[in-house]
Structures are given as structure tokens and as C-alpha cells.
Structure 1
Amino acid sequence: MEKHELVTLPNSNIQTLAQIAELDFFDRQSVILSKSVAPLEAWGSMMSRPSFILNLAFRIRDAISSMFNVKRIGGFSKSAPKTVAVGDKLDFFLVEHVSEDVLSLSERDSHLDVLTCISRVGNELTITSSVKVHNTFGRLYMLPVGPAHKWIVRSFLRRLKKEHS
């Protein structure tokens, strides 16, 4: 499995697995909050109450993926620590980068690599997801996961905006 180095997009603090043109999936969504929220605080807030649908989606994902020798990820624990360091785990994600304004989390597997970057500039919070696919299963996996992921992130950001208004 190829390890992709993190790339910081030009004129931003957003990290991805590669330049946008080299990615198999890219999604960037932002929200303006009433106050500046640190990326780890935003993560904790979003993960504290994952929806029933998201939990169900993870159970289905694990059941199907395990038939193709892809490790189970289980879902979210509903809690987040107050601090993290590179190399720590947040649920199934590996902390790849952490600073005051950026939290980059990865999951690397035989079928694909995923990087979720939560970044802030002032009161704007951005969630950017980038994916590099490794095989046919990864491509098939992204067919339903890509659109679902966009919907899930949008709902997380909407809820975060309500909490911080």
C-alpha cells in the first residue's frame, strides 16, 4: 500500500492526500460560525451525537467490507479527548497533523486512503475530505460512499452551526 504524503493546498491551511487533480474523491464544505471553534473542539461536538443513520451505515459498511478482507472500523465512540498528538487515534482515524487551526485524520487500508482535514480561518470552519483509491473494490466502495459522505458532512456542519449560533 502506497503512503501518500500530506499536501497543503495553495493559499490555505487545508491538507489533502495529493493535489486535487490527482485525487479520486475530493469534497470541501465550510460553515461560518458565530465564534471561532478549534478543529478538535468541532470534531468532539460533531462526534458526540452521531446519527442513527450514520451508525447503521457503519454497520452495513463493516459487514460488506469484511467479506473483502477490509478491516472493520466500527464507527464513532461519541467522545473526543481535549488534546491529541500526531500518531494518536480518534476512533478509527489516525491523527496525521494537529495544530491550533488544523486537524488532519487519516484511515489507510488496502482499498483506499482517506484524509479528513478540519481547518479554521477566523470563524470559518472547513471540512475537507480527500481519497486515493487503490483497487476495484475501492472504486466500487466510493460509488455510494462519495454522495453519502457529502450529505453526512453537510448535516454535521448544519448541526455545528446551530450549536454555535
Structure 2
Amino acid sequence: MPPNTFARAATARIQILAPAAELDFLDTQSIVLPVPVTPLEAWTLMHARPLPGLKLAFWLRDAISACFGVKRIGGITSKPHTGVQPGDKLDFFLVEAVSDTVLTLTVRDRHLDVMTCLTSSAGVLSVTSSVKTRNRFGRAYMIPVRPAHKLIVALSLKRLKQALEQRRAAV
């Protein structure tokens, strides 16, 4: 890949909640795709086999957050998702935009706003998450979530790349 192509592809059409300087959390991670996939297909493949401990992490999140009046989210399902449209729910996320190159998901509550945007462009898949907190609870919530989220996305992308490499080898 020529210099800067990865950087250009990784930032193509990314949507975030607000200008970067106004965000309380911003993370973008990318992989070079062994085979082309849409963002929705990537999402489905990344969650087809849940990461070890993720179900427990969501259970703990729900148990602790419920004490503060935060809605339980239950986690991310491993069922295949096809044909979602803006306004649909994808697990606990609201689908804001979906195309062959972009999948934008949001969750908003009284403590924080979250946007996750998957983009697929020039053979690169990027996952960008942006968060704006609204109060002290939202800021406290992000203390453990910040490093956990980065690790979960990194591991999910690694597993996705492995699955796609197996798909390519099978052809």
C-alpha cells in the first residue's frame, strides 16, 4: 500500500459525535482487510464468537449501572444481522447510517452519548468510537470503560482479520 493510503482509508467517512476537541473519548483502530467486507458484515463477524469474558463484563456493567438508574443493555448478540436500516436497533445501538462503506451506531442516555462508526474503504476497516459525557456519573463510568473498550476493539479486529484470512484461504 502506498504511503498515507492506510491513513486516508482509515479516516474515510468516519462520523463522530462532535469535533474531536469536544469529545471525552475518541478511539480509532483499523485493519487491512484480507478480503472485502461491508461494515455490517464486519460487525456480524466480529460478534459471531463473543470474546471470552465479554458476557460477564456486560453483566457487571448492567448490575452496577442499574444502581444508578441506567438502563440495562444486556450485551451484544452473536446472531447474524442483515438488512438493517437507519432507525433500526442493532442490539442496544440505534442504527444512524448504513451503507456498503459505513455503519454508524449510537446510544444516548442522561449520562453520556456514544457513537461507534465502522468504515470500509480502500481495503481498510476502521472502528471509531466517540463519547461525550454529560455528568459525573458519565465521567466515572468512562474510567474503566476507556481501556476496556480499546482492548475489546483491538481483540475483535484481530479475530476478524483471522476469520477473513481463513475465508480468503478457503477460496
- State if a TM-score over 0.5 links the two structures: yes
Contact 2:118 2:128 in 1 (8 A): yes
Letter in 2 for 1:24: D
Contact 2:40 2:103 in 1 (8 A): yes
Residue 66 of structure 1 deviates from its aligned partner by 0.4
Contact 2:38 2:100 in 1 (8 A): yes
Structure 1 stretches of at least 4 aligned residues deviating more than 2 Å after TM superposition? none
Residue equivalent to 2:134: 134
Deviations 1:94-126 (A, max 9, x none): 001111100000111111010000001121000
Residue equivalent to 1:31: 31
Percent identical = 55
Note the 1:1-165 alignment, pairs <5 A: 12-165=12-165
Q: Cα RMSD over matched residues?
A: 0.9
Residue 22 of structure 1 deviates from its aligned partner by 0.8
Contact 1:43 1:80 in 2 (8 A): no
Contact 2:12 2:119 in 1 (8 A): no
Residue 35 of structure 1 deviates from its aligned partner by 1.4
Contact 1:104 1:116 in 2 (8 A): yes
1-side partners of 2:158 and 2:125: how far apart? Answer: 11
Residue 83 of structure 1 deviates from its aligned partner by 1.1
Residue 64 of structure 1 deviates from its aligned partner by 0.4
Letter in 2 for 1:122: A
Structure 2 alignment gaps of length 5 or more: 1-10, 166-171
2-side partners of 1:23 and 1:143: how far apart? Answer: 14
Deviations 1:24-62 (A, max 9, x none): 000000000111110000000011111231111100000
Residue 78 of structure 1 deviates from its aligned partner by 0.9
Residue 81 of structure 1 deviates from its aligned partner by 2.0
Look at both structures and tell me which one has the larger radius of gyration over its CA atoms.
Answer: 2
Contact 1:28 1:129 in 2 (8 A): yes
Structure 1 alignment gaps of length 5 or more: 1-10
Q: Tell me the TM-score normalized by structure 2.
A: 0.88
1-side partners of 2:81 and 2:26: how far apart? Answer: 27
Q: Tell me the TM-score normalized by structure 1.
A: 0.91
2-side partners of 1:62 and 1:159: how far apart? Answer: 26
